[in-house]
Structure 1
């Protein structure tokens, strides 16, 4: 399984298109909210997407649960789960839905954590990053019993790479 994850693009439709073009070899694409685009925007075609606190199109769901290659992926923006404070509420929901992977945004801070065999990934922001200067997105791969999570700049330069064993 190989997926592309982005978030918090805040109206920059061109960057969504560019990142999609750079990563044509993925099994699925996820946007964790605050695209500030209409739900049916062409840039979000074939993208699993959720509503963030800055998205006003009510057609966006607040959560999506998708199974890809046997992995249950739970995506939400994060503002409804208080992710800027801690991941407690998000982890309760992840266990409730049987998630293997949790994708979220909102804080604009990239990060990855494996807790109780659940992978949590925040891809950062492709417009307004916090905690570092690079705008970012993530590529997640499942290889055997390990996860590879790589964070890239908008120019597809590697920022951070983590390998986590379940």
Structure 2
């Protein structure tokens, strides 16, 4: 896998023939999460997440479907994913999608849907604060006093007004 990010629910996808991005929805499993402290938002996407598996189910206008005044609306129907990570299989028998996986749409018949953002984002925890090097952090962000941050709850600090 060599340092590739796993794709999760909410990943931003773009069709090279469409005019707008859409976000991936994981509909095939509800057990495997990643980079999600509470295990409730970042379901891992797999190659069995096909069909109508996007939030809006459109990539805007489809350049492969011209009409008299422009293009018909895109209605993606994903037939398969390519370049998934085959060494990790989820409970739904799906192989995990990674950042360079490509989706095949029934209209184009080729891998034209790419992942522009995997849907993962860093979520700091108290453990991150406890393990942070105070000298290094004071140089990176001189406005935060790490000694004070370690004395109070990290979540209190994040929610302070």
Please state which structure has a larger fraction of its residues in strand.
1
Both structures adopt the same fold (TM-score exceeding 0.5): no
TM-score, normalised to structure 2, is 0.26
TM-score, normalised to structure 1, is 0.25
Larger radius of gyration: 2
Bigger relative contact order, structure 1 or 2, given CA contacts below 8 A and separation 6+?
Answer: 2
